Amino acid sequence: MRKKRVVITGVGPISSIGMGQEAFWNGLLNNQDHIREHKEYIGKELWETFRYHKIENFDIHQFGIDRDKLKRIKDWKEGEENEDLNYLLASVKLALDDGKIKNTNDYRIGLVLAHENIGLMPFGLKISGLAYDMLIGKSAQVLGKKDFYAVFYEQFIKSGYDVQGFPNLFHVTQTFDIKNFSLFVNNACASGLYAMETASQIIKNDQSDIVITAVSDHSDIYKYVWFKEIGIYSEKGYMSPFSKNADGILIGDGAAGVMLEDYEHAQKRGAFIYAEYLGGGFDLENWKITVPQIGSQSYQSAIKKALQQSSVAVKDIDVLCAHGVGKKTIDGYESKAITDVFGKNPKDLAITAFKGYLGHTLGASALLETIIILLMMKNNKIIASKNCEDVDPQHHLRLVEKTKECQIKTVMKICCPFAGFNAAVLLKKG
Amino acid sequence: MKKEEIVKEFKKLLVEVVDVDENKITGDAHFFKDIGIDSLKAIEITVAIERRFKINVRDEQIPQITTLNQAVSAIEKALQEKNA
């Protein structure tokens, strides 16, 4: 059997700087970031104020998704909205439209969804509210322990189940009538890269001719509180990866849909090909959830495995898109891995970091940034690394400072996420 | 393991990981301010502590270990919990 090649034939970005390919690209060209201050109230009490990259005026009905299908989701959720899911639906629809897939039944299509913590916020707020009401209303004492447990279960069951992957996978496959092998993956911020590799393997194993990968993240109070607690939220209010003034992250709303396809299948139907997915490298630290294992060679190993899988030499890579979270320790861990493989201040390698535009969109970040790479290849331009003009010399890196015309052939996207699920993938323009 | 042994082992470990003058490592000397250890090296020290003493240092404890006394106290506690 011939060895299948996998290409990318559709993209669907949803971000704070633009939804859909054109708006997203213009947002990048216009150096936008759309950071807004958010005040989280519980009743009339202010809980926290924080800045984040915010999507505004999002309406799930504006993407041309079958309204009856959306009604089914609403019925299941008894009217409760979940932006994590809505973003996934929108990004899948945009990717299908961009890939010129009108009727999914005409093709063998699979789906790989990913999210870092889907549905956590509606679940958390609901359960907190319920617990508060019951305790204040003294219902707990009146009900007795068993009945308290029973009422609690009944009240939050839908939100509780929706924290898991499978109902969301179901909603998306049902909405777009996707019937082939489908999966929900969760590898923290590297989820998008694991999703692409999974999609590639599904195609290579001849389970599907096309696989849509989609990731999303809706910013919320819980993520802010967690990141602030562990000291990685930016006090200065914007992200500046690898810079002298780097002090952490801002979260951001975002989603990305990327369509992978068997190369011959894409050619046969005359699809536009953004790039070939050459392969990925993955290496797990198995150390801590929130702290990288400084001193290990895990990240370097992920990068080297990607090169090996793709049969690409270090010298052949034009652009490296870093994870770039703007936290000194993580930036240091990342720059060490980069310079170990590519050398200090590599001359012929353009290094980029995009979170200054989008914030950290967590599980969505790697795939959303992959879309930037694909659009750079398509438009023959390299996008500047926003807020990275004053790089800390200890990193021994130079980042792309100005958006400019550029012929880009081979790009590596890397990611060193929570839990040490290190990943790297390679893309090549045909 | 006795406290004196932990102190001795930890100092040895610190010298190995960060190549620091052992005389500078006093109980309250701050790793960052007084010994010139940066936040990356501090994490590398935790990796070495876990290996040497075969204990688990919780994620949230890592930024709190900034002196010899804090490190020794965290190691003692973890060893006690492990042997409980």
Q: State pLDDT tens for residues A70-95.
A: 999 999 888 888 899 999 999 999 99
A52 in Cβ contact with A36 (< 8 Å)? yes
- Looking up tokens 């935790």, which residue turns up? B46
Q: Which residues does chain A have within 8 Å of residue B40's beta carbon, measured at their own beta carbons? A: 294, 328-329, 332-333
Question: Cβ of B43 under 8 Å from any chain A Cβ?
Answer: yes
Is the pLDDT at B28 greater than 70? The verdict is yes
Within this chain, do residues A179 and A35 fall inside the same structural domain, yes or no? yes
Alpha-carbon distance A295 to A195, whole Å?
A: 28
Domain contains A106: yes
Domain contains A422: yes
Name which of B40, B47, B51, B64 to mutate to probe chain A: the one with the most chain A Cβ atoms within 10 A of its Cβ: B40
Question: Cβ of B40 under 8 Å from any chain A Cβ?
Answer: yes
Within this chain, do residues A168 and A292 fall inside the same structural domain, yes or no? yes
Is the pLDDT at A2 greater than 80? The verdict is no
Write the single-letter amino acid at A265: H
Q: Mark which of A133, A162, A191 sits at the end of a domain.
A: A162
Residue A174 dihedral angles phi and psi, to the nearest 5°: -65, -45
List the one residue out of A288, A282, A258, A120 whose CA is nearest residue A192. A258
Within this chain, do residues A77 and A136 fall inside the same structural domain, yes or no? no
Within this chain, do residues A41 and A14 fall inside the same structural domain, yes or no? yes
Q: Which residues does chain A have within 8 Å of residue B59's beta carbon, measured at their own beta carbons? A: 230, 288-291
Domain contains A1: no
Within this chain, do residues A245 and A226 fall inside the same structural domain, yes or no? yes
Q: State pLDDT tens for residues A289-320.
A: 999 999 999 999 999 999 999 999 999 999 99
**Residues A119-123: what's their mean pLDDT?**
83
Alpha-carbon distance A149 to A157, whole Å?
A: 12
Within this chain, do residues A225 and A289 fall inside the same structural domain, yes or no? yes
What tokens does A67 get? 């309204």
- pTM of the predicted model as reported, rounded to 2 decimal places: 0.94
Is the pLDDT at B75 greater than 80? The verdict is yes
Within this chain, do residues A63 and A106 fall inside the same structural domain, yes or no? yes
Tally of domains within chain A: 2
Within this chain, do residues A10 and A112 fall inside the same structural domain, yes or no? yes
Within this chain, do residues A69 and A182 fall inside the same structural domain, yes or no? yes
- Please list the residues that pair with A277 across neighbouring strands: A6, A427
Question: Cβ of B62 under 8 Å from any chain A Cβ?
Answer: yes
Within this chain, do residues A112 and A211 fall inside the same structural domain, yes or no? yes
**Residues A399-404: what's their mean pLDDT?**
96
pLDDT at B24: 84
CB–CB contact A230 B44 (8 Å)? no
- Mean pLDDT of chain B, nearest integer: 92
Here the ipTM equals 0.87
List the one residue out of A55, A60, A91, A53 whose CA is nearest residue A223. A53
> With 0-12 CB in 10 A as exposed, 13-18 as middle and 19+ as buried, what is A5?
middle
Q: Which domains are present in chain B?
A: 3-83 (1.10.1200.10)
Within this chain, do residues A158 and A292 fall inside the same structural domain, yes or no? no
H/E stretch holding A265: helix A263-268
List the one residue out of A340, A270, A336, A281 whose CA is nearest residue A306. A281
Domain contains A399: yes
Residue in chain B closest to A290 (alpha carbons) equals: B59
Within this chain, do residues A325 and A225 fall inside the same structural domain, yes or no? yes
- Check which CATH number belongs to the domain holding A227 and give it: 3.40.47.10
Q: How large is the greatest C-alpha to C-alpha distance in chain B, in angstroms? A: 36
CB–CB contact A296 B47 (8 Å)? yes
Partner residue opposite A294 with nearest CB, options B44, B59, B63: B44
Name which of A228, A289, A294, A299 to mutate to probe chain B: the one with the most chain B Cβ atoms within 10 A of its Cβ: A294
CB–CB contact B39 A287 (8 Å)? no
Q: State pLDDT tens for residues A138-150.
A: 666 677 778 877 8
Range of the domain at A75: 6-118+164-428
Is the pLDDT at A211 greater than 90? The verdict is yes
Name which of B17, B32, B43 to mutate to probe chain A: the one with the most chain A Cβ atoms within 10 A of its Cβ: B43
Question: Cβ of B41 under 8 Å from any chain A Cβ?
Answer: yes
